[in-house]
Structure 1
Amino acid sequence: MPVDVSSTVECSIAPAGDVPTDVLVLPVFEADEVSELAGVETEDGEIARVLNAREFTGRLYDVYYVPLAGARARRAALVGAGRRASWTVDRLRRVAAAAALSLRRRRIERAAIVVRGVDPYEGAQAAVEGITTAEFNGALYKTSEPEGAPAREIRIVATGADATRLARAVEHGRVVGESCNISRALCNEPGNVLTPTVFAERAARIAMEAGLRVEVLDEARIAELKMGLLLGVARGSAEPPRIIVLRHEPAGAPEGPVLGLVGKGVTFDTGGISIKPADGMERMKDDMAGGAAVLTAMRAISILRGPIRVVGVIPSAENMPGGRAVKPGDVLTSASGKTVEVNNTDAEGRLLLGDGLWLAQQLGATHLVDVATLTGACTVALGKLASGVFGTPDAWLQHVRATAERAGDRCWPLPLHEEYFDQLRSEIADMVNSGGRPAGAITAAMFLREFTGGLPWAHLDIAGTAWADEAKPYQPKGATGAGVRALTALAFSAFPV
């Protein structure tokens, strides 16, 4: 997995004009005045001329290089920050990524990025996350050399900030950005490479290197635990299922809360007997994006010494239409004892998660969050800009939503009215696994709620956000690392009482 970060990222609290570097990256708002960039160059310098002549307008993600006068940098890269009123930490993250991609294309070796208009520490962390994720090479199997090269040294400039706090923010951003890249690399792997067994092997290696406790449950152990939902999904494949269990148990951590993270790990999803259309099926290699998010968030939590105990559960399988595959009409019994009539074998992710949520409770979780590329219905409802978030009670739902938004994982809540469960009623079992097309994302969440044991629980449906269908100025086409920042941030948040 090509996820190594080539740049050395440091920080500076000096005035921007005093930072020695090749290129000084300046976020510039639309209608910025030259006086607002004081300390970088004199009024009659090239930046002033470019802004006054409207050669550069600050349009979002535009990059314009100019020579500098009166600064220790040779050039400035003016990066469009858009309207000042829309400026946020998340936008700074994307602007930093757009700048880093531009630096890469030009093979610039040293650069410094100025944090402005936001809290210096949140801004520094976000900028480093953006820079780090911009260095990701998703062309796993191309034999040609990638375009450009990452900068050898990037400095984050937050004039007047506390140097120690700034260094911590930079390190936090580096670890989270690297974890996003590892998640993206896993999601980009083809299904013939990343089977459930290989996913578990890689997860174990990543977890041990990060200092996590890890256990991999094989098919025999899964059967002992009577996890009939997971076993049912895996039946049609020649590849056996696995469950990856991760534990972060810091010394001196309180008994509670214990955060339980559960991620869907379907390494390839054909839909099973209810087979998907051929067009676009190759994308189904990323149906383990939720599992990758849990794994890599746990990595970040451990490296950054998260203060609370966290358990991660990743049930992993292939969903294939083999001769032994589960059929529409079959009834499966979950580890919790609940029975499920399978009326759609392409609604398999919720089956894995049902057993995974039960296992997280057995491991001591007091608060649950699951993350999955679960429903196309969520993409229809929200598009590719925001994940769906569901949960109970409302205080926990709102906390998860707010934490995710602050971390840069956009999400939007959808309701869980009791009447929606009527779509899941079965004549012969406790429920069916699919409520049909109407409110499909909601009924999927209602299904999962049945396996949460009444604990505070939230569900992130990242079906729309886990994959970028087209390149953006700040992000290439492919896996995005959705959910990693949100789950990491939760482990450092104050849970509602």
Structure 2
Amino acid sequence: MEFSIKSGSPEKLRTGALIVGIYESRKLTAAAAALDAASKGRIGEITGSGDMEGKAGSTLLLHKLPGVAAERVLLVGLGKEKEFGAREYRDAVAAAVRALRDTGASDAVCALADEAPRKSGGARALRQAASAVLDVLYRYDTHARHKKDESRALAKMAFTLPKKCSASAAEEALVQGAAIGHAVAFTKTLGNLPPNVCTPTYLAEQALELGRKSGIAVTVLERADMQKLGMGSLLSVSAGTRQPPKFIAMEYRAGKKADAPVVLVGKGVTFDSGGISLKPGEGMDEMKYDMCGGASVLGTLQAIAAMKLPINVVGLIPTVENMPGGAATRPGDVVKSMSGQTIEILNTDAEGRLILCDALTYAERFEPACVVDIATLTGACIIALGHVTSGLMANDDALADELLAAGQSALDRAWRLPIWDDYQEQLKSNFADMGNIGGRPAGSITAACFLSRFTKKYKWAHLDIAGTAWKSGKDKGATGRPVPLLVNFLLERAGKL
């Protein structure tokens, strides 16, 4: 997809399709009004007849509108004008692309920029629009026998320049939006791949390839390296599988040499059977998505490298497969983490925290400005927050506020939960420093409390994406979240928002 900025009167723009908006009161946007005048009231006739009432998400495609240079005009319903905000703007762009993607139009101009919410600014609107376009056009057909014919696909999208937004700012916003969109697609594909393809070794190969393309330094630690470091907690998870564990460390250094890096830690369980604490068979195929935290770290690094963001970021991805077997870790076993703390394994299906805790200890060597871990960690988070928002827990209020604001700006929201010391009581063990679970009450919180025991030396936040990393049902597939949140967080830190 090629993005650009176009200027000129809407009726004179030569394109395969011109997108203009109609509010629910049948009120025409400025661009739609210009086309109405050029066509001698044709759009007004259409809205007056009830064919387009402006309901949010509705579309109507017109061909060869008199007096208009565009081959097609797509009317998009924007809903109620007073309720039209950033999310409604993004949804309108997405609805337009869905309506156009199978029409044969190879290029389009979106003239919705001036309807973007005033508070968000034109640049933010364009960033959202570009990523929305790529999100709608994403297709996973890696293992499909018959590939989709792309010869008639929408390949170019131009946007009219928003008011009070310079051309240079608009161009930069489109570059950022495209980088986010491509990163989300990359993250989705990694999540959607079958677990017999996307193994820990495959993830390590993808990290090395990304490093070669983008100049990111990549190190992959093997089992022997992890044994020397004392990562007994991480290695206990991979004890029952033939797939070797990998520990991926990626260093993106484009900021000042003296600046401490932001460290992102992503859970990379490429398939989670539950181990000896075997999961129910129904829906177990979706446990290939248990590496989406790791995938989101790869996607985020791809995005900031494409933007050439002036910041230092380290990505750490502990990646394993959790399987039952003769050598598998058992409930009741005690393992020693890299930090020296011992853990009684009460449930082998609470494995994500076991690999993350060693990665969080490893993060200390980078003397980080802050650490954010991302994990499909607990089903309890889905019960608490559903599939709308990610769970956020942190040991630093300012860092938590940054991430919440980034999620709001990116339309990829999180909600903060407490990790008060009162909850730590649930992790007590008679046989080790702690148990790896704290019982059914507040399961997401006690999981974060477990991780917090390994983050005493830096500012830390935890994103539980169990409810947001993928969808089930007819739209089954990875979502690419929380890449938009993470990229906005880093854009803000780099002073580029």
| Pick aligned residue for 1:24 from 5, 14, 18 | 18
**How many Å separate the matches in 1 of 2:377 and 2:338?**
20
Aligned to 2:122: 120
Q: 1:3 is matched with which residue? A: none
**Residue 457 (structure 2) pairs with residue 459 (structure 1):** no
Is 2:51 the counterpart of 1:55?
yes
1:74-473 pair list within 5 angstroms: 74-114=71-111, 115=113, 116-118=115-117, 119-146=121-148, 149-160=152-163, 161-250=165-254, 253=256, 255-470=258-473
Question: For the residues of structure 1 that align with 2:347 and 2:14, how far apart are their CA atoms?
Answer: 61
Give yes or no for contact 1:93–1:129 (8 Å, CA) kept in 2.
Answer: no
Mark the CA change 1:465 to 1:27 in structure 2 (over 3 Å): closer, same or farther: farther
Cα distance in 2 for residues equivalent to 1:147 and 1:433: 49
CA positional deviation for 1:77: 1.3
1:38 to 2:33 alignment: yes
Residue deviations 1:254-296, cap 9 Å, x none? 5234201000000000011111100000011111000000011
SS at the partner of 1:261? strand
Structure 1 residues 153 and 333: alpha-carbon distance in aligned structure 2, compared to 1, 3 A threshold? same
TM-score, length basis structure 1: 0.93
Q: 1:300 to 1:18 in 2, by over 3 A?
A: same
Verify the 8 A CA contact 1:399 1:495 in the aligned structure 2: no
Larger CA deviation: 67-76 vs 227-236: 67-76
Q: Distance in 2 between matches of 1:142 and 1:130?
A: 24
- The answer to whether the 8 A contact 1:331-1:340 is kept is yes
Cα distance in 1 between the residues matched to 2:36 and 2:481: 39
- Offset at residue 393 of structure 1 (A): 1.4
Shift of 1:154: 1.2
Select the structure with the greater relative contact order (CA < 8 A; seq sep ≥ 6).
1
Paired AA for residue 123 in structure 2 = Y
In structure 1, C-alpha distance between the alignment counterparts of 2:57 and 2:246, rounded to whole Å = 42
Q: Which moved more, 1:27-36 or 1:217-226?
A: 27-36
Q: Secondary structure at the match of 1:70?
A: coil
By percentage of residues, which structure has more helix? Answer: 2
Q: Distance in 2 between matches of 1:307 and 1:258?
A: 11
Kindly tell me: are residues 35 and 407 of structure 1, through their superposed partners in 2, closer, same or farther at Cα, counting changes over 3 Å? closer
Number of residue pairs matched? 485
Give the conservation status (yes or no) of the 8 Å contact 1:228–1:334.
yes
The answer on 1:11 being equivalent to 2:5 is yes
Is contact 2:261–2:366 with CA below 8 Å preserved after alignment?
no
Equivalent-residue separation in structure 2 for 1:134 and 1:82 (angstroms):
20
Amino acid at match of 2:477: G
Structure 2 letter corresponding to 1:303: A
Residue type at the aligned position of 1:399: E
Q: Distance in 1 between matches of 2:356 and 2:67?
A: 59
2:487 aligned residue: 488
CA distance in structure 2 between the aligned counterparts of 1:35 and 1:204, rounded to whole angstroms: 48
The 3 A distance-change label for structure 1 pair 195 and 353 is: same
AA aligned to 1:46 is R
**Secondary structure of the structure 2 residue equivalent to 1:73:** coil
Kept in 1: contact 2:19–2:74 (CA 8 A): yes
Query: What's the TM-score, normalizing by structure 2?
Result: 0.93
Which stretch shifts more, 174-183 or 153-162? 153-162
Secondary structure of the residue that 1:395 maps to in structure 2? helix
Q: Which moved more, 1:476-485 or 1:367-376?
A: 476-485
C-alpha distance in structure 2 between counterparts of 1:94 and 1:254, whole Å: 41
Q: CA offset at residue 98 of structure 1?
A: 2.8
Q: What letter is aligned with 2:51?
A: E
Tell me, in whole angstroms, the C-alpha distance in 2 between the residues paired with 1:84 and 1:339. 58
SS at match of 2:293: helix
Unaligned runs of 5+ in 1: 1-6
**Cα deviation code 1:428-487 (max 9, x no counterpart):** 21111111221111111111111112421111111111112246xxxx531110011111
Shift of 1:18: 3.2
Task: Give the distance between the partners of 2:447 and 2:356, measured in 1 at CA.
Answer: 11
Are the counterparts in 1 of residues 17 and 71 from structure 2 also a CA contact under 8 Å? yes
Task: Determine the C-alpha separation between the residues in 1 that align with 2:214 and 2:88.
Answer: 29
Partner of 1:245, secondary structure, is strand
Distance in 1 (CA, whole Å) between partners of 2:453 and 2:177 is: 36
Q: Report the 3-state secondary structure (helix = DSSP H, G, I; strand = E; otherwise coil) of the residue aligned with 1:39.
A: helix
In the aligned structure 1, how far is the partner of 2:5 from the partner of 2:213? Answer: 26
Please, which moves more after superposition, 77-86 or 211-220?
77-86
> Which amino acid in 1 is paired with 2:462?
H
- Aligned-pair CA distance for 1:314: 0.3
CA RMSD of aligned residues (A): 1.9
Structure 2: gaps (5+ residues): none
| Partners of 2:253 and 2:341 in 1: CA distance | 31
Q: Distance in 2 between matches of 1:268 and 1:96?
A: 35
AA matched with 1:52:
G
Asked if structure 1 preserves the Cα contact closer than 8 Å seen for 2:404 and 2:415, the reply is yes
Residues 64-122 of structure 1 deviation map (CA, whole Å, 9 limit, x = unaligned): 11243433212221223333344333433333233222211223211111222232111
What displacement does 1:407 show? Answer: 1.4
> 1:52-71 CA deviation, whole Å, 9 max, x = no partner?
23322222322211243433
2: CA distance, partners of 1:138 / 1:266: 21
Please tell me whether the aligned partners of residues 46 and 66 of structure 1 are also in contact (alpha carbons under 8 angstroms).
Answer: no
State the Cα distance separating 1:44 from its structure 2 match. Answer: 4.5
CA distance in 2: counterparts of 1:212 and 1:347, whole angstroms: 32
